[in-house]
């Protein structure tokens, strides 16, 4: 199975997508399943995981509605307020939605200490009790806090989005690798090969600039804990879908057929319990 483990849909409204600034005009429009499906078909991908881009229950419901209408949207990573005392009650409401696989919050927009507060940890423990995964969206400087977080939740399945956004444009990798390594030692932590082109120079990146980060991720996590994600449509700021996929396809062509299969779909299928 070939899966795009990380993409977004949205009905663009400036007030909801304030992070889309003047330099991002290309993605200031609606992006629907009808825009993505031809790309998945063209490049022989069996389906995708739709990930939240707005922090609201309305966003979770919107993505679940799309998944109900489109069988190839294999799973949804929604949003929930993990610090809420009513979290368990809210999760009960989602019991009837088998395509809801996990949750995510825009942790990169908050103080790193936010994820270490007691009620956040309690929320993660509630997610674990219900069988949900959690996507971690952070910058490299948050990785010390992420290590503390995963130590406090040793049984929770996590995936780090976009390789924790290393500073590719600056060519920096040593500190990122140093702080990612102890996290990768924990077997329930996975990582998405996604979001790389937008951390590089949007207009002047090339695959040779990305490969060192891919090599480090492969060394740290191994193919069975890595998963391809396009980060479409955000990736369009720097590259077409075909280019993003092509970098990972070429990189994984150097691996065995089995190793490539894990990165291109099997890891996502297992992590998000798609079958």
pLDDT digits (tens, 9 = 90+) for 91-114: 999 999 999 999 999 999 999 999
Beta bridge partners of 48: 4, 73
CB atoms within 10 A of CB 83: 15
* Spatial separation of the C-alpha atoms in residues 242 and 39, rounded to whole Å: 8
CB atoms within 10 A of CB 66: 16
User: What domains are there in the chain, each with its CATH number?
Assistant: 3-271 (3.20.20.140)
pLDDT digits (tens, 9 = 90+) for 6-60: 999 999 999 999 999 999 999 999 999 999 999 999 999 999 999 999 999 999 9
Task: Kindly report the pTM of this predicted structure.
Answer: 0.97
Quote the pLDDT of residue 275: 85
Can you spell out the DSSP letters for 114-159? Answer: GGGSHHHHHHHHHHHHHT-EEEE---GGGHHHHHHHHHHSTT--EE
pLDDT digits (tens, 9 = 90+) for 101-159: 999 999 999 999 999 999 999 999 999 999 999 999 999 999 999 999 999 999 999 99
* Spatial separation of the C-alpha atoms in residues 263 and 266, rounded to whole Å: 7
């Amino acid at each position: 199975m070939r899966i795009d483990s990380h993409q977004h849909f949205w009905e663009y409204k400036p007030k909801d997508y304030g992070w889309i600034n003047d330099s991002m005009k290309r993605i200031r429009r609606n992006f629907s399943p009808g825009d993505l499906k031809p790309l998945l078909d063209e490049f022989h991908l069996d389906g995708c995981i739709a990930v939240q881009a707005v922090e609201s229950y309305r966003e979770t419901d919107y993505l679940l509605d799309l998944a109900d209408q489109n069988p190839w949207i294999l799973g949804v990573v929604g949003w929930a307020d993990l610090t809420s005392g009513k979290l368990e009650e809210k999760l009960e409401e989602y019991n009837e939605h088998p395509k809801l696989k996990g949750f995510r919050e825009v942790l990169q927009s908050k103080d790193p200490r936010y994820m270490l507060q007691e009620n956040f940890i309690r929320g993660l423990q509630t997610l674990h009790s219900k069988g949900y995964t959690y996507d971690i969206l952070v910058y490299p400087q948050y990785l010390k806090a992420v290590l503390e977080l995963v130590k406090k939740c040793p049984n929770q399945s996590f995936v780090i989005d976009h390789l924790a956004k290393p500073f590719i444009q600056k060519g920096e990798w040593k500190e990122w690798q140093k702080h990612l390594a102890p996290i990768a030692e924990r077997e329930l932590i996975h990582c998405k090969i996604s979001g790389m082109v937008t951390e590089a120079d949007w207009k002047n990146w090339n695959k040779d600039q990305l490969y060192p980060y891919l090599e480090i991720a492969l060394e740290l996590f191994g193919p069975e804990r890595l998963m391809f994600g396009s980060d479409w449509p955000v990736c369009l700021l720097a590259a077409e879908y075909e280019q993003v996929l092509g970098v990972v396809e070429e990189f994984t062509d150097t691996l065995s057929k089995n190793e490539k299969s894990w990165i291109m779909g099997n890891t996502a299928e297992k992590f998000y319990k798609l079958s």
